[in-house]
A and B are shown apart, each in its own frame.
Chain A
Amino acid sequence: MNDIDLVRDILDTQVLDREKRALGKVDGVGLELRDGAPPRVAYLEIGAVTAWARLGPRFARWATRLASRWQGEAHPYRFPWSRVRDFGIDIEIDADAERAPPLDLERWLRDKVVKRIPGGQ
């Protein structure tokens, strides 16, 4: 791949872990500004707050306030481009969905809600 357009090809793309389990979408891209050199991609970001903040400052404040009640330090989840293993329709990264922070809500719902409903096991 020679030419990658960050907004067109990376932003809002599905992210999978190394076993092709869904991790989330690329909700944001972090750039690093360098003196005398072109900016470069510092990290990609998965996180609801990042996504909602893209709607404008009011949404950013609102989402941050809501999220601060539940989410810990691990949000938004950031990973460097070096973790990307494969890139096409989806972005596959070297991570384990079972432990990754973007699935905190998924795990919480599974353990606290779904498993307690008959048939959810």
Chain B
Amino acid sequence: MGSGFHDQALLTEHLEVALEELAQASGLSQHEIVELVEYGVFQPVGASSATAGSVSAWRFSSRTIVLGRQASRLKADFDLSLFALSLVLTYLQRIEEMEGELAELRAQLPR
């Protein structure tokens, strides 16, 4: 990394990663990622046109790494099939969204 911090990055929607990097960072295989895209858990940037194109050209929001690592942990720790994993992740994402909305509403309430 040299002297600086130039490789460090916040995982946000503004930064994209390739399929290969997502696989390496998450611990999932590319095949597993493709299947989770088919189940709608991961979404390549550019949505429908991306899924129609070559798989190796897919790019993802770098936030997908966080979800991918969660998927990898859950799959290994609970011995889940990819389909069961897709259901669990869908519910966890839904819970996270609701917790986010709750936190936003709480921030607006008087103390």
- B and A form one assembly: no
Interface residues of A (CB under 8 A from B): none
Interface residues of B (CB under 8 A from A): none
